[in-house]
Amino acid sequence: YDWRRNVMKAELGLLITRSASSAAHQKVCVVGGGPAGFYTAQHLLKACQDVQVDIYERLPVPFGLVRFGVAPDHPEVKNVISTFTQTAHHARCCYYGNVNVGTDVSVEELREAYHAVVLSYGAEGNRSMGVPGEDLEGVYPAKDFVGWYNGLPSNRELNPGLDCETAVILGQGNVALDVARILLSPIDELKKTDITQRSLDALAQSQVRRVLIVGRRGPLQIAGTIKELREMVNLPDTKPEMVASEFEGMAEALKVIPRPRKRLTELMLKTAVDPPAEKERQRRQAASRSWGLRFLRSPLEVLAGPDGARVAGIRLAVNRLEGTGDGSVAVPTGEVETMDCGLVITSIGYKSLPIDPAVPFDPRKAIVPNSLGRVQQAAGLYCSGWLKTGPVGVIATTMNNSFDTAHSVVEDLTSGCLDATSAKPGSTGIGPLLDKRGVKPVSFSDWEKINQEERRRGAAQGKPREKLLDVEEMLKTART
Ligand code: FAD
């Protein structure tokens, strides 16, 4: 890897901007090449004409959950990649993929080399249910299941058992709805997406015919949004399997709840309670698969089958709600029920993890404690994205909170809060450290070679892309 190539690009950019500005040369790095990292970089580059922004990303490939989270049948969501690509091509921006911060280089070393360091490394951990049987074969965190169908290298060998009729998804957010849709979508639809061929083959053989999406609270507290629910309602060859009694009193509640929850509840009510029109009745009658929402149920135990190893069901506590609206709490009634199933996917949230002992971390909230993106008691250290807020919000939310963090950085650089007049080496200080440690970064143009190869392989199969699943293969392709 030629550090000079990127450094020269940076110097050239600065030469151009320096002619217009006499301010000091400021070096900022961003840790994580997902939406938060790219949006933070974008805002910094726009707001500050004399800043060089380097993005360090753990994987050779950029874009975080836009590549490894967003569902393959939602290609329009991935359009943000073109904005990120423009940012990466900016004369004062450099991308260093294949650099695992916390392992290959410490946050302290980055802080030595840069005036400011922004941590934007997302939420790569799983929340666990904390119930017996969670480790049985056939129980998967949604994060791993999503990573499997989206080609995340660490999940490529997941091979989830799909040889059962009923799958239970615990959690009712959009990730749960994405997983349910992928499990039940017609293969011909998935074939046209960038879903990995391996998971496509497995889904083509899947015996799953029924998916139940279970939440601990009621219909008024469901976390999913209307677009994703509507996609379930309209999913070809499936019918809804709701329990009308779970919607009692909902028609009354509709009068007082605000939009957009009102529209979401109306759609659920219509699907669960209203007799379908003739065309819809026929469609439902012909469907070979079904899906349903189940409310007021919390997992107590995942039950094993006769072999003691593989999931065969789940024991659930029946809850009632105390309070109303978003603040209501699920309280167990003492009643317990069992659902038979051969696959359990837990979709109860992602979780940020600490990557470096030198960085403050709040283990309870699983975030880096911060005020407007400024990490508490650590001058020059910032955070953005899911690491800053917790794992909630869509890309647009992540964009706004990343712009806010970038704004704080610019404020501190210009107010003198950070000593931006002293020279910092930036990537020229980090490059030799990585060299010594045998770490070979992947530049953005290297990524573009991987991109090209993935598109070429996809085109051969009539798909937009066939992702490389193996880091070694990514590196080999990048270096050809
Ligand atoms: P991430 O996207 O996770 O990016 C973090 C990056 O940091 C990753 O590239 C990671 O590899 C890197 N990293 C991690 N550790 C290190 C390290 N030690 N050193 C260097 N780099 C590191 N939003 C929508 O608007 N529409 C959707 O359809 C949608 N679908 C979603 C589906 C799923 C399954 C999920 C989980 C989320 C979805 N979202 C969607 C939300 C969206 O993905 C997030 O808002 C956004 O990705 C958060 O951005 P981030 O940069 O904070 O985290």
On the question of pLDDT at 22 being above 60, the answer is: no
On the question of pLDDT at 14 being above 50, the answer is: no
On the question of pLDDT at 192 being above 80, the answer is: yes
Taking alpha carbons only, the member of 427, 445, 442 closest to residue 475 is 442
Between CA 93 and CA 186 the distance in angstroms is: 42
Residue-wise pLDDT tens digits, 398-453: 999 999 999 999 999 999 888 888 899 999 999 999 999 999 999 999 999 999 99
Between CA 272 and CA 242 the distance in angstroms is: 5
Q: CA-CA distances (angstroms) from residue 438 to 4, 110, 434?
A: 17, 17, 6
Q: What is the pLDDT averaged over residues 49-55?
A: 95
Ligand 1 within 6 A of 355 CB? yes
- Name the token pair of 17: 């901007």
- Per-residue pLDDT band for 258 (boundaries 50, 70, 90) equals confident
Taking alpha carbons only, the member of 421, 472, 474, 435 closest to residue 451 is 474
Q: Rounded to the nearest 5 degrees, what angle is found at the Cα of 363, between the Cα atoms of 361 and 366?
A: 80
Q: Please state whether the predicted TM-score (pTM) of the whole model is above 0.75.
A: yes
Between CA 461 and CA 139 the distance in angstroms is: 31
Q: Taking the alpha carbons of 423, 428, 432, 438 in that order, is the dihedral positive or negative?
A: positive
On the question of pLDDT at 13 being above 50, the answer is: no
What pLDDT does 8 receive?
Answer: 55
- Cα(63) to ligand 1 centroid in Å equals 7
Q: What is the pLDDT averaged over residues 295-299?
A: 97
Between CA 120 and CA 126 the distance in angstroms is: 17
Q: What is the pLDDT averaged over residues 17-38?
A: 74
- Cα(66) to ligand 1 centroid in Å equals 6
Between CA 260 and CA 94 the distance in angstroms is: 40
Ligand 1 within 6 A of 434 CB? no
Long-range CB pairs of 157-161 (<8 Å, 24+ gap) are: 159/202, 160/202, 160/343, 161/137, 161/310, 161/342, 161/343
Ligand 1 within 6 A of 54 CB? no
What pLDDT does 19 receive?
Answer: 35
- Per-residue pLDDT band for 290 (boundaries 50, 70, 90) equals very high
Between CA 440 and CA 374 the distance in angstroms is: 30
- Name the token pair of 344: 């359990």
**Protein residue with its CA nearest to atom 12 in ligand 1:** 32
What pLDDT does 21 receive?
Answer: 33
- Per-residue pLDDT band for 20 (boundaries 50, 70, 90) equals very low
Residue-wise pLDDT tens digits, 260-288: 889 999 999 999 999 999 999 999 999 99
- Cα(388) to ligand 1 centroid in Å equals 12
Ligand 1 within 6 A of 276 CB? no
* Ligand 1 atom index nearest CA of 37: 51
Tell me if 314 sits within 8 A of 344, measured CB to CB.
yes
Residue-wise pLDDT tens digits, 157-181: 999 999 999 999 999 999 999 999 9
Of all residues in the chain, the percent with pLDDT exceeding 70 is 95
